[in-house]
Amino acid sequence: MGTLSVRESKTAQLKMSTVGNSTNIFWQESPVGKLERQKLLNQKGCVVWITGLSGSGKSTLACSLSRELYTRGKLSYILDGDNLRHGLNKDLGFKADDRTENIRRVGEVAKLFADAGLICIASLISPYRKDRDACRAMLPDANFVEVFMNMPLELCEARDSKGLYKLARAGKIKGFTGIDDPYEPPLKCEIEIQQKDGDCPTPGAMAGEVVSYLEEKGYLQDH
Amino acid sequence: MGTLSVRESKTAQLKMSTVGNSTNIFWQESPVGKLERQKLLNQKGCVVWITGLSGSGKSTLACSLSRELYTRGKLSYILDGDNLRHGLNKDLGFKADDRTENIRRVGEVAKLFADAGLICIASLISPYRKDRDACRAMLPDANFVEVFMNMPLELCEARDSKGLYKLARAGKIKGFTGIDDPYEPPLKCEIEIQQKDGDCPTPGAMAGEVVSYLEEKGYLQDH
At residue A58, the pLDDT reads 96
A198 has pLDDT over 80? yes
Using alpha carbons only, give the angle B143, A10, A139 rounded to the nearest 5 degrees.
65
- Distance from the Cα of B44 to chain A's closest Cα (Å) equals 14
Quick one: pLDDT band at residue B89, thresholds 50, 70, 90?
very high
How much is the average pLDDT of B27-52? 89
For residue B59, indicate whether it is catalytic. no
A96 touches chain B (CB under 8 A): no
Nearest to A94 by CA among A60, A133, A36, A54: A54
Quick one: pLDDT band at residue A53, thresholds 50, 70, 90?
very high
Q: Which of A82, A125, A195 to mutate to test the interface with B (most CBs of B within 10 A)?
A: A82
- Which residue in the set A1, A90, A203 is minimally distant from B5, CB to CB? A203
- Which residue in the set B11, B155, B161 is minimally distant from A10, CB to CB? B161
**A32-216 is classed CATH 3.30.540.10:** no
At residue A94, the pLDDT reads 84
Rounded CA gap, A49 and B194, in Å?
Answer: 45
- Determine which one of B64, B123, B126, B212 is catalytic: B126
A83 touches chain B (CB under 8 A): yes
Would the CB atoms of B25 and A80 count as touching at under 8 Å?
no
ipTM over cut 0.85: yes
Quick one: pLDDT band at residue B169, thresholds 50, 70, 90?
very high
Quick one: pLDDT band at residue B62, thresholds 50, 70, 90?
very high
At residue B4, the pLDDT reads 32
A160 touches chain B (CB under 8 A): no
Quick one: pLDDT band at residue A14, thresholds 50, 70, 90?
very low
Residues of chain B with C-beta less than 8 angstroms from the C-beta of A161: 7, 10-11, 14
Rounded CA gap, A119 and A110, in Å?
Answer: 9
Residues B64, B147: contact at Cβ < 8 Å? no
Rounded CA gap, A207 and A61, in Å?
Answer: 6
3-state secondary structure of B79: strand
Residues 25-54 of B with CB under 8 A from A: 25-28, 30-32, 36-37, 40-41
How much is the average pLDDT of A25-52? 86
- Which residue in the set B27, B59, B173 is minimally distant from A86, CB to CB? B27
- Distance from the Cα of A78 to chain B's closest Cα (Å) equals 8
A1 has pLDDT over 70? no
Quick one: pLDDT band at residue A111, thresholds 50, 70, 90?
very high
Compute and round to an integer the Cα radius of gyration of chain A: 20
Among left, alpha and beta (phi > 0; psi -120 to 50; other), residue B109 is alpha
At residue B28, the pLDDT reads 52
A58 touches chain B (CB under 8 A): no
Q: Where are the domains of chain A?
A: 32-216
Would the CB atoms of A27 and B138 count as touching at under 8 Å?
no
Exposure class string for B8-19: b at 16+ Cβ within 10 A, else e: eebeeebeeeee
How much is the average pLDDT of B91-110? 93
A13 has pLDDT over 70? no
Residues B31, B25: contact at Cβ < 8 Å? no
The CATH T-level fold of domain B33-216 is Rossmann fold (3.40.50)
- On average, the pLDDT of chain B sits at 88
Rounded CA gap, A23 and A19, in Å?
Answer: 6
Phi, psi torsion values for B35, nearest 5 degrees: -60, -40
Residues of chain A with C-beta less than 8 angstroms from the C-beta of B7: 159, 161
A200 touches chain B (CB under 8 A): yes
